[in-house]
Chains A and B, each alone.
Chain A
């Protein structure tokens, strides 16, 4: 069973020099994967640049006199753990797919979606806590950045959840494990990226 799961042909890394030409290239799954990976990483670099821009804004803005540290909900630590857990469950899910345990794959994928949702609900709860302590979006610059960055990160994570839901809906009929595995790998790269991003934002918002 497992024999079909792994590429029998090495994936096309870069066709530079020799070109990737040939009549069947467009239908070659390995070649198609290659294209998707480039696309994903380009997208991620745009997201990295977006958060780099926000970071530089934080650094410049905190130089002005009215920067005050805010109440920082300690609940966010739990939320951080939830998101890291979701990354771990995603890895387990990937393992299950590789060993063709369909039910396990579905369970752990569902678990990842669930934890992602929990994280988003947790973020909204954190906003509530902030508001409860009198920190709203315009209250002070630190609070503004808190709401802004959590919101933009949350929107990206919501996109990730939608992607995972589509993957989950596709689990009913897995014909070609190879291509499913690629989709799952792409999604997991995006998901881990968002986990890293959140950990970074957590430290940025807490200690800066």
Chain B
């Protein structure tokens, strides 16, 4: 019996089961990560087209006209295409890139390694999660090619009636159905992943690794997964009802008296606001789903490259839990202008402002970690520092939007676009880039190129501010989001147009700079410098394994943990780091 088990542990399956239909958490994590990078590249391309249209509205680009004759007749983008592009950009980026990379990618790769487990609790479910995610993405992207009328065009939030009436706009027809099916796959995939993560963290930690010794990355991913399990069902319910409204004539979201193309619709009494409530009940926790893991990565990276313990660990854990639970009672702040009762508005106003408290605790703790540290400005560290910068910029602009009186003015303007591109999109993106640079050696056994990494960082960081900071001024001047042509019909925005041109030029540089990262990623995978098992002298359990780790990490012999992962510059230790597996006795004996 014993020998049989041992043999099973060392058995590596053949090519298909190993690299394609793999149940191994490391392979699944890498599959998720690479797929999501591909998604990001696609969605970033869409953003470039969007910026092209905003800066030079209805300008003719003969080259684009030749490449996409349907979307750019005569080289001018059709308005329907513009709406489809911003819808798909948002959907793909929020769900299929950020959530998938952070949770599916790093969550899968890191959780078992950081808790000393050989794999996830339910490996088969894990494999299913990736393939269902991929299917969801393929359904979404195929709406560009196979959907008559083009992809969904009602925005990533898909508000009815636009999304519920098939004849409303071109994209409301088949495109919206593709969107619903794609999202259903994504939700199923995320739920499977979330189940796995929570179960794994709760029950598979190595000996001695209690919850208060977990790296903050694992803590954040754990809470994120739990938030996902509780929040996504609201969207499931909403998309099911939306589907019935669209295809079976029900009136969950469609009110009476709607005229489309001069014809009165049959629907009666539905509530479009019901969709908004259900959508944002998921939508706001979703923001934290993409925020929390990036916060976790930042904490671990900062501590490693300051050679100092993370400041206020317990407060950090408390803040993660507080942010995770508060995220369920703030959704109404997306709906201040929906005519909600002002008293209810005040409730959401206050709960939203309360989130600033745990967020500030985290920020100050990061600052305090930096204080007096021996800071090493490696590429991951630069991204972690930039994360804090973006987080503070986005967070402070969020306070304006949390206050209902200010939000009523700023709602649906570029101020909002700027805000969430800093805090949710930007900070998470920088979290992903930092984490990729940091854990790349563990994933592939090679180092990423530092020179290219720093070049990529500086261009990305500077142009990111140049793209999104000026948007705050556009928003304060009242320029609305999602305008196909911001100057022809709204002449008062004409003086602001140079800002839009400046933003677009920077956006193109920002987009192009990501190719440096893509090159660095794939080039380093094959030609990078060979990585040692612990290139950053870090403490986490993952760094005690070879790079890349064996197929079954500890091969049935999990490590024993004696300390938290933040013992940097420990007074009695001979080196400035102290892995979690070193017992106190070993330090005393100089045995390390």
Contacts and interface: CB of A to CB of B under 8 A. Distances in A.
B202 A27 contact: no
A27 B180 CA distance: 41
Interface string A130-159: 000000011001001000100010000000
Contacts, number: 141
A45 B211 CA distance: 22
A21 B269 contact: no
Interface string A19-56: 11111011100010011001100110111011011101
Contact of B269 (A39, A50, A67): A67
A9 interface: no
A78 B132 CA distance: 39
B363 interface: no
A60 B277 contact: yes
A20 B281 contact: no
Given A57-B278, A66-B269, A141-B252, A17 B210 contact: yes
Interface stretch (B235-243, B287-295, B496-504, B516-524): B235-243
Interface in B239-296: 240-241, 244, 248-252, 256, 266, 268-271, 273-274, 277-278, 281
A10 interface: no
Interface centre among A21, A46, A65 (most CB of B within 10 A): A21
A64 interface: yes
Contacts of B229: 42, 45-46, 49
A65 B269 contact: yes
A172 interface: no
Contacts of A141: 250-252, 269-270
Nearest to A42: B195
A23 to B, nearest CB: 5
Contacts of B269: 61, 64-67, 141
Interface residues of A, number: 43
Most interface-central of A14, A31, A45, A152 (chain B CB within 10 A): A45
Contact of A66 (B191, B196, B268): B268
A35 B201 CA distance: 10
B207 A19 contact: yes
A15 interface: yes
Given A46-B229, A50-B233, A64-B271, A21 B121 contact: no
A42 B199 contact: yes
A14 B199 CA distance: 11
B71 interface: no
B109 interface: no
Contacts of B206: 19, 21
A15 B148 CA distance: 55
Contacts of B122: 35, 39
B118 interface: yes
B183 interface: no
B257 to A, nearest CB: 12
Interface in B554-572: 556-561
Contacts of B266: 138
B270 A21 contact: no
B3 to A, nearest CB: 13
Given A21-B560, A23-B557, A42-B195, A35 B230 contact: no
A47 B118 CA distance: 29
Contacts of B202: 14, 38
Contacts of B545: none
Given A20-B204, A45-B230, A56 B277 contact: yes
Interface string A52-91: 1110110011001111000000000000000000000000
Given A16-B211, A18-B208, 8 more contacts: A18-B207, A42-B194, A42-B195, A42-B229, A57-B241, A67-B269, A137-B244, A138-B250
Interface of A: 12, 14-23, 25-27, 31, 34-35, 38-39, 42-43, 45-47, 49-50, 52-54, 56-57, 60-61, 64-67, 137-138, 141, 144, 148, 152
10 contacts: A19-B560, A21-B560, A25-B558, A38-B121, A42-B229, A46-B195, A56-B278, A64-B269, A66-B269, A138-B266
